[in-house]
Structure 1
Amino acid sequence: MTNSSTECDFTEIDRLANTLRLGISIPTFILGLVLNALALYMFCCFWKKHTKTSVYMINLALADVLLLLSLLLKLHYSYTKAPRLLCSFIQSLYFVNMYGSIFIIVCITVDRYICIRHPFEGRANRSTKWAILNCCVIWVVAWICSSPMYVHDEKNPLKCFHNLSRQGAWSTPYIVSVEIFGFLIPLAVMVFCSAQNILILLNHKSQDKKKVEGSGSLRVIIINLVVFLVCFTPVHLAICLQYLVRQDVIENCSQKKSISLFIQVSMILANLNCCLDAIFYYFAAKEFLVLSMADYSINILQLAFVQ
């Protein structure tokens, strides 16, 4: 996604970015693949009774695995040119899974908000049907929205993520849609639901405040929000700045170089989401097991009273 220009030499910037990419992305790939493969194995093989949360987490882990695989291809084709169609597929695979992760995280946050805000309705409506439908819609829409990645200004082999078309991926309607629907709206939903969840838990009168602050629910909410902000805010700011470069609004060479480095570093940071999600899996799984045990105890008590 770097800018190419006859006036500016980006050789040093690309060399530095490649060094950072190798130093960070390779450990991210190895650690993320191991953690997400373990998460998928745990979710699919050990949790016999799935809930909406487990369906979302399975899809989130799957999105992370696919993004990591596209990251491996991205690393390879940052040093060599690829056929146009293959390059388009790698680019779309990367961004589909990044935005798939964003919307699945939002779905988990909204689902948690409903369960905390309306606990009885939330527990009564634990069917996985809507979660599966939401995930299917997310995947289909994400792939459809990746179609501009297949528009290129040239038909010769090219470096992936370096030659996105101004008429396709860098067009004004597409970038505005990505920023608003792909980040700002999900960010607003995340902040609102997370803030409401935190306030509800902290103000819960039936529990001691210190116990609430140490609860799994509060940790899951805070970690989820922090990971979202840290991983996805810089890359969308960088996309906005790079768009200004592509539209010739920013013409200063040193600024172009700084933005070029910033967007590459921010994408590396966004990739860390694949590993940081593992922290979310740990606390979410821990909370899920506690809730499952609580439900089991309630069912036993109900049977005892019936008998």
Structure 2
Amino acid sequence: MGSGKAVELPAIPEEVIAWFCARFEEANRSVTENLINNPNTRETTLDDALLAPLQKQQAPVAFPSGVVVQMSVHNIGGLRRLYRWEVADIGVLVTVFQGHALRGQKIGVLQAKRLYPRNNEVLDDEQEDYKYGLNAFLVPDPASALAKMSMTFEFDEACRYGALPSGDVQVQTIETFVREFGAAVSYLFYNPADVPDTMHFPSTAYRTLVNPPPLGARVVDAKEVHAVLAGLEKGQTPTLKDIQHSTHQYRRLEEWAEELLRCRVGVPIDRSINRMVEQLLVRRSGPIGAVIAFSVALPGKD
């Protein structure tokens, strides 16, 4: 890697890929379960729900083959609410060693967008609310929670990703980033378990997902999403149907994770993209909210 030439990851054993995908399948189920029980929840809360199961197992894991892996999660929260230049919410960094020698690194980053219900009633973090911080709990909304005791949230393929308007400055920032550093960025779409679906307030029972959701969290390459947005009027937001039927790769979250380990998505890290890595990960004020670092130690000579 010293020459600055891009180096792809060496072959990763299938047992490791299966373990990695299983963790992201749990994350998919976690974030989707959160959404169907809290249909108006903040997008940042869904980010946390995705990361929560990944944080439960951060100790090193050894496989019979001699491979050792470790997943670490660092969540600092995004700054998009303060500055509209956030490139992604979650970065996934893969590092592979053989013995003590570094054999390769790869990164993929995910910009999360949630599907809005028909009534568009979604809690969101306005810039002023973000600056106000936890003080908001000391001065609550004067409207009683009882006023929202009777609400219906309907989801179908005509629902929109309400925080993804065509021509938005964040979209332009991501486009510039992709042109400079390559196809590292994908959109992560938070959806209900399936559509159509309807939730009601007040809730009468908690809905638990046992199996992988038929729809759930999906990942689409940024270029494909931006092509969809280019066909919309400025300020218009895409529907679930727009994204589902106008993109070639509509991966489940765990499928994207597998593709990352197989070097089919993301970009390898070398000197040519050091500035990108510094912008995303090194600075505390960087335009990313959380990092999932996955290290793989292969047996063998250095």
TM-score (normalised: structure 1): 0.32
The structure with higher relative contact order (CA 8 Å, sep 6+) is 2
Q: In proportion to residue count, which structure has more helix?
A: 1
TM-score (normalised: structure 2): 0.32
Q: In proportion to residue count, which structure has more strand?
A: 2
Which structure: larger Rg? 1
